[in-house]
Amino acid sequence: MADAGGAGLALRISQGTPIPLDASLSCAPGELVALVGPSGSGKTTLLRAIAGLYRPAEGWVSCAGSVWFDAAARIWRTPQQRSIGLVFQNYALFPHLSALDNVAAALGHRPWQERASRARELLGLVHLSGLEDRLPGALSGGQQQRVAVARALARDPQALLLDEPFSAVDRVTRQKLYRELAELRRALKMPLLLVTHDLDEAAALADRMCILYRGHTLQDGPPYQVMARPRDALVARLVDVKNVFEGRVVAHEPEHKRTLLAWHKHTFELSHSPRFAVGSAVCWAIPAANVILHRRDRPSRGEHENPVDGIAADCVALGETTSLSMQVEGVPDALLYLSVPTHVARRNGLATGERIRVSLLAEAIHLMAWQDLREPAAP
Amino acid sequence: MDWSALRLSLELAVLTAAILLPLSVLIARQLAWRSFGGRSLIEAALALPLVLPPTVLGYYLLVAFGAASPLGRGYEALFGGPLVFSFTGLLLASLVFNLPFSIQPMQRAFEAIPRDVRDAAACCGMSPWRIFLRIELPLAWPGVLSAGVLTFAHTLGEFGVVLMVGGNIPGETQTIAIAIYDRVQALDSHGARVMAAVLLMLSLIAITVAYTTTRTPGRPRG
């Protein structure tokens, strides 16, 4: 049953066909939740269900204390009755109407004398003053996105939904729009739901992120937490944690607040994790940023923390960080990924074939229930 | 020059377009956006007048309008005259043989409107009627206009179906196309020449208008 008590946006939706869905989600006023998943995971369908453009078989959607959809109670509100702001992926501006008229089109709930001035005000809010009379075709991608945001806000919506709003613009514009959204957020006291497949975007903008896969919401929490502590190997893959391996719990040492993990010939220390029994097979993961490269010329601090030797396999400099994979000694076919600042990689003369030593930060090693990694359910 | 035949042709063309266009907008929108069983069959049936010989179409319409059919009998009972060889019958036939000319350009035009744009209009709180007037119709306008012009021009020029269903009654069913044929039969080549030139000019102007308007830049095209 729908719970209409909450001030924010909440939903619970499920169905078997035609698009399998089993999702629950909540978003408090002023909160920005990122809905993250690979293409085809049902992100847009979920958004459409919230907006009233798609009617799922089961479940409910409520927002700001009113029930928008409740399958059990046969409640269904049309998009017109929902007061929602939706920014479409390709903005879906009305191509025959000027920027001003696009925004004014969503102001039908206000007296007509106010509409033009309110539309101007909203275009000013998204830094588009002076471009009111342009047709969408005469605006850049970033400007079109701003018109779409202004139009979505024009309804004075009770929730703002953004469907991959940054995917159609270039990188520089995107960075600018990120800042504008962050700025805009402060003025908005409504739940904000951002659909994206870009993890960095989610991490940079969202208070919480929710992982969606094949229509199922798998895990939600603060982005850093979801990425550092994925629920299972599947979520780890979905949040692009490359270092996921199988291992075995060797011992718990509560007196030292640690657990010992065996991985082939290596034994690692990690934070005490009594949830997994001694002897049990587990999957473990470590974010690439928590694999520390040691300098060759002199031993660095933490040299003895879970040391691993190996050979640099691949070295890709992506701007300020260099992404590095290493073949681990004594572990056939295992590639350990780490990322180091590019200047560090350069100073150490990192190149394919070099011997390197790394440390796995004990507190960053994360244990998960065992599952066969050779049969990935990932996309 | 047979002015009454020209006037009758223009009347027929204007009435056909006036009745058919709103009807076609409804049908074209459904065909463009809805998926339903038998859709292909319906589309094929609507396109039939394009490929059928006018005599075949005319024959079936003649049968359908005749005193032996329920439609023909019903009309006769109501209005006291036969449907065949009347202006009303001609108009009905004209509505049928113009279906593809009217529906197809509109269907293409409505198909070219992205679904997101219609959804965005709903999310803006616009009522379905308002969405139709403010968003759909302006965006599909080139298609609607081109449908209107094609219907108009095609009605002016149709010969076979008109002859089959309407016959050749001056002032009632004799259109300009039939009148030209009549003049040629009567060896009045001057009359035929003038009327043929008038018809040619009208058709050329109409089609040019259709082509020009559908090429207006800034409109999304399918």
d(CA B216, CA B220): 10
Question: pLDDT-derived band of residue A124, with 50, 70 and 90 as boundaries?
Answer: very high
Q: Does A152 contact B123 at a Cβ distance shorter than 8 Å? A: yes
Residue A242 Cα, gap to closest chain B Cα (Å) = 36
Partner residues linked to A357 by β-bridges: A309
pLDDT value for B81 = 85
pLDDT value for B207 = 85
> Residues A220-237: pLDDT tens digits?
999 999 999 999 988 998
**ipTM of predicted complex:** 0.82
A154 touches chain B (CB under 8 A): yes
d(CA B82, CA B76): 5
β A244-253/A258-263 pair status: antiparallel
> Residues A125-149: pLDDT tens digits?
999 999 999 999 999 989 999 999 9
pLDDT value for A298 = 65
Partner residues linked to A182 by β-bridges: none
Tokens of A235: 């979520």
Residue A288 Cα, gap to closest chain B Cα (Å) = 39
Question: pLDDT-derived band of residue A294, with 50, 70 and 90 as boundaries?
Answer: confident
The answer to whether residue B64 scores a pLDDT higher than 70 is yes
Average pLDDT of the segment spanning B110-116? 94
A288: nearest Cα among A242, A252, A219, A331 = A242
The answer to whether residue A304 scores a pLDDT higher than 80 is no
Provide the total of helices (H) and of strands (E) in chain B, helices listed first: 12, 0
Half-sphere exposure of B107 (CA within 13 A, CB side): 16
B148: which residues sit within 8 A by CB, 6+ positions away?
B17, B21, B102
Which residues 164-203 on chain A approach chain B with CB closer than 8 angstroms?
none
d(CA B106, CA B96): 16
A371 touches chain B (CB under 8 A): no
For residue A379, is the peptide bond before it cis, meaning its omega torsion is within 30 degrees of 0?
A: no
Domains (ranges, CATH) in chain B?
Answer: 3-214 (1.10.3720.10)
Mean pLDDT of chain A: 89
Question: pLDDT-derived band of residue B220, with 50, 70 and 90 as boundaries?
Answer: very low
A361 touches chain B (CB under 8 A): no
Residue B104 Cα, gap to closest chain A Cα (Å) = 22
d(CA A52, CA A27): 17
d(CA A54, CA A49): 5
Q: Does B120 contact A53 at a Cβ distance shorter than 8 Å? A: no
> Residues B181-214: pLDDT tens digits?
989 999 988 989 999 999 999 889 988 887 887 7
> CB atoms < 10 A from the CB of B113, how many?
22
d(CA B187, CA B198): 19
pLDDT value for B221 = 41
A51 touches chain B (CB under 8 A): yes
Question: pLDDT-derived band of residue A39, with 50, 70 and 90 as boundaries?
Answer: confident
**Residue entry with tokens 């991490």:** A203
A286: nearest Cα among A231, A219, A365 = A365
B65: nearest Cα among B43, B81, B48, B52 = B81
pLDDT value for A174 = 87
Average pLDDT of the segment spanning A247-269? 92
The answer to whether residue B136 scores a pLDDT higher than 60 is yes
Contact status, residue B119 vs residue A52, Cβ threshold 8 Å: no
- How far, in whole angstroms, is CA A74 from its chain's centroid? 33
Q: Is the dihedral of CA B194, B198, B204, B205 positive or negative?
A: positive
A136: which residues sit within 8 A by CB, 6+ positions away?
A91, A93, A94, A95, A97, A99, A102, A144, A147
B140 touches chain A (CB under 8 A): no
Partner residues linked to A58 by β-bridges: A14
d(CA A168, CA A92): 12
The answer to whether residue A296 scores a pLDDT higher than 80 is no
CB pairs under 8 A between A and B: 73
Residue B211 Cα, gap to closest chain A Cα (Å) = 20
B88 sits in which H/E element: helix B87-97
The answer to whether residue B21 scores a pLDDT higher than 70 is yes
pLDDT value for A84 = 92
Which residues 80-99 on chain A approach chain B with CB closer than 8 angstroms?
80, 83-86, 88-90, 92-96
d(CA B48, CA B51): 6
Average pLDDT of the segment spanning A325-333? 87
Domains (ranges, CATH) in chain A?
Answer: 9-84+157-237 (3.40.50.300), 241-369 (2.40.50.100)
Q: What is the DSSP string of A203-253?
A: HHH-SEEEEEETTEEEEEE-HHHHHHS-SSHHHHHHTT---EEEEEEEEEE
d(CA A275, CA B161): 85
The answer to whether residue B116 scores a pLDDT higher than 90 is yes
**Residue entry with tokens 């962050």:** A182
The answer to whether residue B151 scores a pLDDT higher than 70 is yes
Tokens of A350: 């990192």
Residue B131: closest CA among chain A residues belongs to which residue?
A: A105
Average pLDDT of the segment spanning B8-28? 95
The answer to whether residue A5 scores a pLDDT higher than 70 is no
Residue A85: closest CA among chain B residues belongs to which residue?
A: B123
In angstroms and rounded to an integer, the radius of gyration of the C-alpha atoms of chain A is 25
Task: Give A12: exposed, middle or buried? Use CB within 10 Å, 0-12, 13-18, 19+.
Answer: buried
Tokens of A361: 């930060």
Residue-level length of chain B: 222
> Residues A245-257: pLDDT tens digits?
999 999 999 999 9
**Closest Cβ–Cβ partner in B120, B127, B220 for A88:** B120
**Closest Cβ–Cβ partner in A53, A96, A106 for B124:** A106
Angle between helical axes of B3-33 and B99-111 (0-180°, round to 10) = 40
Q: Is the dihedral of CA A121, A125, A128, A130 positive or negative?
A: positive
Question: pLDDT-derived band of residue A379, with 50, 70 and 90 as boundaries?
Answer: very low
Average pLDDT of the segment spanning A51-73? 93
Residue-level length of chain A: 379
Percent of the residues in chain A that have a pLDDT greater than 70, as a whole number: 95
Q: Is the dihedral of CA A121, A124, A130, A134 positive or negative?
A: negative
CA angle A111, A114, A119 (to 5 degrees): 120
The answer to whether residue A299 scores a pLDDT higher than 70 is no
Average pLDDT of the segment spanning A67-71? 94
B123: nearest Cα among A91, A122, A205 = A91
Which amino acid is residue A315, in one-letter code?
A: C
pLDDT value for A217 = 93
Q: Which of the listed ranges A353-367, B69-83, B126-140 does the model predict with the highest average pLDDT?
A: B126-140
Mean pLDDT of chain B: 89
Residue A27 Cα, gap to closest chain B Cα (Å) = 20
B33: nearest Cα among B25, B44, B45 = B25
Partner residues linked to A248 by β-bridges: A262, A281
Average pLDDT of the segment spanning A286-307? 79
CA angle B174, B180, B181 (to 5 degrees): 85
Q: Does B126 contact A48 at a Cβ distance shorter than 8 Å? A: no
Which residues 130-149 on chain A approach chain B with CB closer than 8 angstroms?
135, 137
B50: which residues sit within 8 A by CB, 6+ positions away?
B100
d(CA A93, CA A154): 14
> Residues A155-187: pLDDT tens digits?
999 999 999 988 878 888 888 888 888 888 888
Residue A225 Cα, gap to closest chain B Cα (Å) = 34
Average pLDDT of the segment spanning A279-287? 93
